[in-house]
Structure 1
Amino acid sequence: MLNRLDGAQPYALGLFRFIIGLIFAIHGASTLFGLFGGREAEAGAWPGWYAALIQLVCGTLVALGLGTRIAAFLASGSMAYAYFKVHQPEALMPVGNGGEASALFCWAFLLLVFTGPGAVALDRLFGARTTRVAAEEPRREPATPVSV
């Protein structure tokens, strides 16, 4: 039974990536633009406005599966910063300092850095085209050194 689930793993990972990225992007949009009942951050205010910009951009890229590993790395780092600079000084444990979301996002994005985007992602589409173009190019032999 469990072996049958192995074939679904890339698709489950792709769904995980999409949902995590979408939630992250929505959180950024709510802070940048006051959407979805969020409070709009003042433009250029440190760190809230910049964090929201990272959330919107990286969340969208991760959701689409475009530049997933890099976007996930930046998102994970921003959430680590949020946890240790904003939440952790209030209390040691996430449940006591309100940092559960930051901690979970940090680890979820770090997982995507190492696993990649999963089966359904724009990275795969562009990667397949790049690989196909490289395969069609003639192979060049390295130049042999000329002895004098």
Structure 2
Amino acid sequence: MSVTTVIPANPLVSSYRSVTEALSPLADPLVRVAAGLALVPHGAQKLFGWFGGYGLEATGQFFATKLGVPASFALIAGVIEFGGGILLAAGLATRAVAALVVGLMAVAVVQVHLPAGFFWTDGGYEYPLLWAIVALSYVIRGGGRYSLDALIAR
């Protein structure tokens, strides 16, 4: 597997070149960690009722009555968001976990948010679509140099 060298673009202020060159390798892991950790509380809402969530039973009832999918899908969604978020943040099984997140977010867009339009503030699909695209980038590229996947591969 070849290693790709990222050449940062010229910074807006040329005197910041050394800072941008030093921090550039951290940009991708920063997004991966933030994306993974942003999923965790959503899974905790579904699984445990934390952060104002309803817990597994009530979420399952919502999935069955409002979405027309089996209540067991609440467990699947919660595990992907909670456990998958942790794994994505750590960069472990990155491609597989990111693929599960893409699938989950695609279902969320189509089944839940599409009828409400684009804007997240109106319950639209903007937020889950963004996370699906971010996750898709990790399906394509993997966890990168600063991931547990890379550490295991060494």
**TM surpasses 0.5:** yes
What secondary structure is seen at the aligned counterpart in 2 of 1:36? Answer: coil
Rounded to whole Å, the distance in 1 between the matches of 2:53 and 2:123 is 20
Cα offset, 1:6, TM superposition: 5.0
1:1-148 residue pairs with structure 2 within 5 A? 1-2=10-11, 4=18, 5=20, 8-42=23-57, 45-88=71-114, 90-95=115-120, 96-128=122-154
Rounded to whole Å, the distance in 1 between the matches of 2:123 and 2:72 is 20
Rounded to whole Å, the distance in 1 between the matches of 2:28 and 2:22 is 11
**Cα pair 1:64 1:121 within 8 Å, conserved:** yes
**Cα pair 1:10 1:118 within 8 Å, conserved:** no
Q: Calculate the TM-score normalised by the size of structure 1.
A: 0.73
Rounded to whole Å, the distance in 1 between the matches of 2:131 and 2:72 is 20
**Pairwise CA RMSD of aligned residues?**
2.2
Percent pairwise identity: 35
Instruction: Give the structure with higher Rg (CA).
Output: 1
Rounded to whole Å, the distance in 1 between the matches of 2:50 and 2:123 is 25
Q: Calculate the TM-score normalised by the size of structure 2.
A: 0.71
Which structure would you say has the larger RCO, counting Cα contacts within 8 Å and 6 or more residues apart?
1
What secondary structure is seen at the aligned counterpart in 1 of 2:143? Answer: coil
One-letter amino acid matched to 2:104: S
**Cα pair 2:45 2:53 within 8 Å, conserved:** yes
What secondary structure is seen at the aligned counterpart in 2 of 1:38? Answer: coil
Measured at CA, do residues 84 and 94 of structure 1 come closer, stay the same or move farther in structure 2, by a change above 3 Å?
farther
What secondary structure is seen at the aligned counterpart in 2 of 1:37? Answer: coil
Rounded to whole Å, the distance in 1 between the matches of 2:95 and 2:24 is 18
Q: Give the paired residue count.
A: 127
Cα offset, 1:20, TM superposition: 0.6
Measured at CA, do residues 94 and 39 of structure 1 come closer, stay the same or move farther in structure 2, by a change above 3 Å?
same
